[in-house]
């Protein structure tokens, strides 16, 4: 069991992709290689979330993945485990398990099968946060699944728990203006993360985010871009961001499965993954013309690095 990092969550926190063997079992050896590469590349931590295929892993698979990730991190950075579920009780169980496994923080989306009002949504997140002692990142994943979270929910949770226990990952469109609305409504107290894969990173950085949660596939580019933003080097910012944005635009066209297919393709291209197996069923797989365009854009990103 690894120890949680004892400082505020921040920086570049890539969402891990889950590698599988031909029996659809988690490939722990490849996952370790992915994490080693992430930390060597400059990640401040790692995250288990939507593109980790948690909605398809099942109850036992999610717990197993959390245990492997916390153990493999070995204190090298933050570990954030997504615990959102269709029931409050199960979300609490996942949250307690993540904390016991050594996670630095948990993250949760609202239930996706039920359309909840603001009060029920707030109560769901409040119950999760109250069940653990580590921070909770409240994630609006409405770009992929579910409905947008009302601003009042964020404000109530922040008032109840404070900005070291409750953090935010708003993803409802339009992302930038919604992020600024949350920032301004909390007088800058809300600690906000973005998860656009990199396509909105420059805009969100300028609005005051605490960190970013991209996929792992473009991590070297994202780390370099984050550092260029920190340095105020706009020439390098746009040199890096343009090919990243173009790749993410291709991912976005097919939603969550678009991210999964292209990101696993790039991890295999890098030699980190042995295959591109995804849990089935999926709605989209990468075609030859998309693959060729991804290759061209990836080469441009590497040249910029």
- The fraction of the chain above a pLDDT of 70, given in percent, is 97
CB 138 within 8 A of CB 172: no
What pLDDT does residue 144 have? 66
Backbone dihedral region for residue 254 (phi beyond 0: left; psi -120 to 50: alpha; all else: beta) = alpha
More confident residue, 173 or 80: 80
The model's pTM is 0.95
> In the predicted model, what is the mean pLDDT of residues 138-143?
82
Given a cut of 90, is residue 142 above it in pLDDT?
Answer: no
More confident residue, 280 or 145: 280
What pLDDT does residue 6 have? 43
- The fraction of the chain above a pLDDT of 90, given in percent, is 90
Given a cut of 50, is residue 288 above it in pLDDT?
Answer: yes
> In the predicted model, what is the mean pLDDT of residues 137-161?
88
> SS3 for 244?
helix
More confident residue, 224 or 112: 224
> SS3 for 44?
coil
**Tokens 């894969």 found at:** 197
What pLDDT does residue 204 have? 97
CA atoms within a 13 Å half-sphere pointing along the CA-CB vector of 159: 9
> Strand 166-169 vs strand 193-194: parallel, antiparallel, or unpaired?
unpaired
What pLDDT does residue 115 have? 83
What pLDDT does residue 165 have? 97
Q: What is the pLDDT of residues 162-210, one digit of tens each?
A: 999 999 999 888 999 999 999 999 999 999 999 999 999 999 999 999 9
Q: What distance in Å separates the CA atoms of residue 182 and residue 185, rounded to the nearest whole number?
A: 5
What pLDDT does residue 2 have? 40
For 66-83, give one letter per residue: b (16+ CB within 10 A) or e. bbbbbebbeebbbbbbbb
The token duo for 92 is: 């609490």
What pLDDT does residue 3 have? 37
Give the chain's domains with CATH numbers. 11-229 (3.20.20.70)
Q: What is the pLDDT of residues 23-77, one digit of tens each?
A: 999 999 999 999 999 999 999 999 999 999 999 999 999 999 999 999 999 999 9
pLDDT tier for residue 141 given thresholds of 50, 70 and 90: confident
> Strand 136-139 vs strand 105-108: parallel, antiparallel, or unpaired?
parallel
The angle at the Cα of 286, spanning 220 to 217, to the nearest 5 degrees, equals: 10
What pLDDT does residue 7 have? 80
pLDDT tier for residue 148 given thresholds of 50, 70 and 90: confident
pLDDT tier for residue 5 given thresholds of 50, 70 and 90: very low
What pLDDT does residue 143 have? 65
Backbone dihedral region for residue 198 (phi beyond 0: left; psi -120 to 50: alpha; all else: beta) = left
> In the predicted model, what is the mean pLDDT of residues 235-264?
96
């Amino acid at each position: 069991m690894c120890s949680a990092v004892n400082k505020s969550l921040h920086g570049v926190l890539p969402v891990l992709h889950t590698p599988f063997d031909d029996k659809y079992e988690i490939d722990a050896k490849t996952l370790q290689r992915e994490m080693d590469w992430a930390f060597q590349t400059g990640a401040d931590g790692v995250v288990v979330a939507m593109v980790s295929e948690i909605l398809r892993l099942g109850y036992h698979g999610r717990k197993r993945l959390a245990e492997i990730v916390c153990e493999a991190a070995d204190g090298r950075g933050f570990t954030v485990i997504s615990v959102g579920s269709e029931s409050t009780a199960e979300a609490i169980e996942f949250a307690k398990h993540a904390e016991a496994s050594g996670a630095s923080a948990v993250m949760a989306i609202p239930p996706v099968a039920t359309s909840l009002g603001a009060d029920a949504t707030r109560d769901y997140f409040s119950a999760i946060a109250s069940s653990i002692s580590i921070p909770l990142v409240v994630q609006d994943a409405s770009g992929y699944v579910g409905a947008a979270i009302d601003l009042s929910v964020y404000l109530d949770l922040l008032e109840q728990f404070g900005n070291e226990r409750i953090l935010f990952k708003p993803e409802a469109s339009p992302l930038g203006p919604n992020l600024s609305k949350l920032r301004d409504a909390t007088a800058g107290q809300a600690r906000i993360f973005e998860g656009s894969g990199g396509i909105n990173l420059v805009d969100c950085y300028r609005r005051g985010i605490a960190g970013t949660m991209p996929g792992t596939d473009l991590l070297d580019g994202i780390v370099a871009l984050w550092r260029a933003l920190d340095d105020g080097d706009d020439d390098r910012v746009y040199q890096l961001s343009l090919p990243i944005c173009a790749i993410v635009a291709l991912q976005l066209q097919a939603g969550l499965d678009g991210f999964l297919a292209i990101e696993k393709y790039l991890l295999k291209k890098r030699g980190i993954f042995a295959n591109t197996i995804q849990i089935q069923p999926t709605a989209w797989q990468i075609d030859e013309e998309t693959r060729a365009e991804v290759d061209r854009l990836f080469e441009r990103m590497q040249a910029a690095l």
